[in-house]
Chain A
Amino acid sequence: MSITPTSNNSGSKVRVATVWLSGCSGCHMSFLDQDERIVDLAKKIQVVYGPLVDAKDFPENIAVTLIEGSVANVEQLELLKEIRGKTHVLISLGDCAVTGNVTALRNSWENSDQVVLERAYKSPENLQATVPNMVPKLLIKTKPLHEIVKIDFYIPGCPPSADLINYVLTELLAGKTPNMEGKAKYG
């Protein structure tokens, strides 16, 4: 699968989006940890959506989207489906996106959506506390991305190393398929 620059006001640059679902932002930190290599990347790509960019809606016609975090609530579920429809190459970034990781540990409990909220908001010391109802409804189970939509590439790791993120992106930009043997490391 190769990536080609797409139009939409980006000149000849490849339009890239990054997304932060149920994760700790560590994967985005690792993305920034590419340090001076970001300068080289910036010559070829333009990040048009994500926590590092001021854009409200997910844009159309994205060449590559990197998603950090798992899908834990209904809002993220809808966003993921929308992103898949608007993205050419979708990448699961980091263990939460790939495996569920810490965010999926609640899955061991039945009705884990209720269990986790009650554990977070109610406690023996605070009997009056209630579970807030203005936040998006949690899914009963937290899911890794590929259990919901088709994922093209996976970059596991908690967080994935900056080297690995850079390797996958540069391979894709060069029109090659990354080989994850000896590189895909969980944890």
Chain B
Amino acid sequence: MTEISVVSLKIDGVQVSVPEGTTILKAAKDNGILIPTLCDLEGLTPYGGCRLCLVEVTGSPKLFTACTTQVNPGMEVTTNSVRLKNYRKMAVQLLMSERVHMCAVCVANDHCELQALANQLGVDHVSFERHFTRETIDSSHDFLVIDRNRCILCTRCIRVCDKIEGVHTLDLKQRSKDTEVIMDLDESWGDSCSCTGCRKCAKVCPVGAIYIEGESATQTKHRDVAEFITERRKRK
């Protein structure tokens, strides 16, 4: 048996002990402290893109993304402060203003993590001017549809396609606000030769960007699919 060294640290004033190499996010979650996230998903490689899991570490003026920062002995982490809450509210508002996020006409209404976070944080309006984008909607696949106007670029779909399904059909092109999720070498989804149609991208999408034609979000969304498959593989 290999020996696992244990790291002790304080999260929100509570002394916790976790295995070395654990992220702050996982350490907090395992001890009943939930840090809001949008891009992180158990079973997938951490990405650090949504900036919602930012935490304070005593002794450092800068903020850390809990999903990509590993615990250190003696660390004192604050996961909830007025400053953090304001940043999180701002992050949600920036995401909502970047593309067309109109919940009433979205397939993921009531099954959307962005909508739920806005609710939880009390984001009752967006103080930035909204961008009304006209990104492409690709419905050329037999049943998978992507509406890029609803995409928050969390890359969960890309990571689940690469790491869990193992085909890496999906990736990003361009930069900044022009960034788009593409299939293969920027082909239409219906022409993609690598896509296996496994649906995991639609299952993990936190919003209504990728969905299955004729299916409600209630049926589609299974965001623990990556964790489930990862755990099953460990048993082999």
Contact = CB atoms under 8 A, between A and B. Distances in A.
Does chain A bind chain B?
yes
Interface of A: 92, 95, 98-102, 104-105, 107-109, 141, 144, 146-147, 151, 153-156, 158, 179-187
A186 B106 CA distance: 11
Contacts of A144: 125, 130
A183 B122 contact: yes
A100 B104 CA distance: 11
Q: What are the 6 A-B residue pairs with the smallest beta carbon separation, nearest first?
A: A187-B103, A181-B122, A158-B104, A107-B132, A184-B124, A154-B124
Q: Taking each of A146, A183, A185, A186, which has the highest tally of chain B beta carbons within 10 Å of its own beta carbon?
A: A186
Contact of A187 (B109, B120, B123, B127): B109
B171 to A, nearest CB: 25
Contacts of A102: 102, 104-105
Q: Taking each of B102, B106, B149, which has the highest tally of chain A beta carbons within 10 Å of its own beta carbon?
A: B102
Contact of A95 (B103, B132, B133, B149): B103
Contacts of B103: 95, 158, 186-187
A77 B129 CA distance: 17
Q: Taking each of A109, A147, A158, A184, which has the highest tally of chain B beta carbons within 10 Å of its own beta carbon?
A: A184
Contact of B102 (A105, A146, A183): A105
A95 B120 contact: no
Interface string B91-130: 0000000001011111001100001001111111111011
A181 B104 contact: no
A108 to B, nearest CB: 4
Interface residues of B, number: 25
Contacts, number: 79
A187 B110 contact: yes
Nearest to B126: A99
A182 B119 contact: yes
Contact of A151 (B122, B125, B149): B125
A92 B149 CA distance: 25
Nearest to A155: B124
Nearest to A94: B104
A93 B133 CA distance: 25
A185 B149 CA distance: 20
A109 B134 contact: yes
B124 A98 contact: yes
Contact of B130 (A100, A154, A156): A100
Contacts of B104: 95, 101-102, 158, 186-187
Nearest to B115: A186
Contacts of B118: 184-186
Contacts of A95: 102-104
A186 B122 CA distance: 11
B125 A108 contact: no
Given A184-B119, A186-B115, A186-B118, 19 more contacts: A99-B102, A102-B104, A102-B105, A104-B132, A107-B130, A151-B125, A153-B124, A154-B125, A180-B122, A181-B120, A181-B121, A182-B119, A182-B120, A185-B115, A185-B118, A186-B119, A187-B102, A187-B110, A187-B115
Contacts of B121: 181
